[in-house]
Amino acid sequence: MWHKVSPISFRIPYIVNWKSSWFGDSKTYKHSLALDIKARQILEKELTWIPLGDILISKTQESVIVDIFTSKASLILGKTGENVENIKLKLQNKLGGTFVINVKEIKQPDLNAKIVAFSIANQIEKRMPYKRAIKQALAKAMEKGAGGIKAKVGGRLNGAEIARKETFKEGNIPTQTVRSNIDYSTMRAETVYGTIGLKVWIYKGDIYKKAKKLDS
């Protein structure tokens, strides 16, 4: 039997790196993992209304470094960076330690699976027909140079009594090829008639690693 696996974890460490970069021994691993999870939960709660990409966390002996990728960096930074300072203080008060937050802007948000999924879910929550929202997102991604994009939606679509699933696809999605650079994300749209689940795959081309030269 075949098994489902995340397209991102399937490609670690070949062409994709971990979203958390730190080392913990048997004594500190549990605490470090809990801090990592809680930090992500706090950030996603504080920035619920902002389209976020990846959140990368790395740790040094002195501080925890958090890199936030978003398509609207100005909303997180504020006019003078006061929003980032408030978020940093909340993290330090709730989790302890010293945090350094870097906000980085995503230049092509239409090719980021998490932002595309966020946009579709946001439109579904505002009662836009799901087919129109998904087809618009697919068209934008293909215009920006995506090799392929697939979106799968499930739940009580358009308020139907019986839940169902639908899949929309444009281009090519080689999910079994390890060198294929595929961005993947899931999202939930909370509507008046229930939760709509959403999955998005975006194919951005192949990544070939250069062969290492053997010492002669």
Model confidence at 123, pLDDT cuts 50, 70, 90, reads very high
CB of 210 within 8 A of CB of 161?
no
pLDDT value at residue 216? 39
Model confidence at 24, pLDDT cuts 50, 70, 90, reads confident
Mean pLDDT along residues 58-87: 88
CB of 206 within 8 A of CB of 180?
yes
pLDDT value at residue 60? 87
Nearest to 39 by CA among 56, 22, 51, 61: 56
pLDDT at 93 exceeding the cut of 50:
yes
Q: pLDDT (tens digit, 9 = 90+) per residue, 187-204?
A: 999 999 999 999 999 999
The one-letter code for the residue type at 25 is: D
Report residue 150 CA to chain centroid gap: 15
Q: What percent of the chain has pLDDT over 90?
A: 72
pLDDT value at residue 43? 93
pLDDT value at residue 1? 56
Q: pLDDT (tens digit, 9 = 90+) per residue, 133-171?
A: 999 999 999 999 999 999 999 999 988 999 999 999 999
Query: Residue 35 has what DSSP assignment?
Result: H
3-class secondary structure per residue, 4-30: CCCCCHHHCCCCCCCCEECCCCCCCHH
pLDDT at 180 exceeding the cut of 60:
yes
pLDDT value at residue 91? 93
Both tokens of 38, joined, read: 């809680």
Model confidence at 65, pLDDT cuts 50, 70, 90, reads very high
- Of 11-25, 98-112, 159-173, least confident by mean pLDDT is 11-25
Residue 117 exposed, middle or buried by CB count within 10 Å (0-12, 13-18, 19+): buried
Kindly report the number of other CB atoms within 10 A of residue 30's CB atom. Answer: 10
Mean pLDDT along residues 6-26: 90
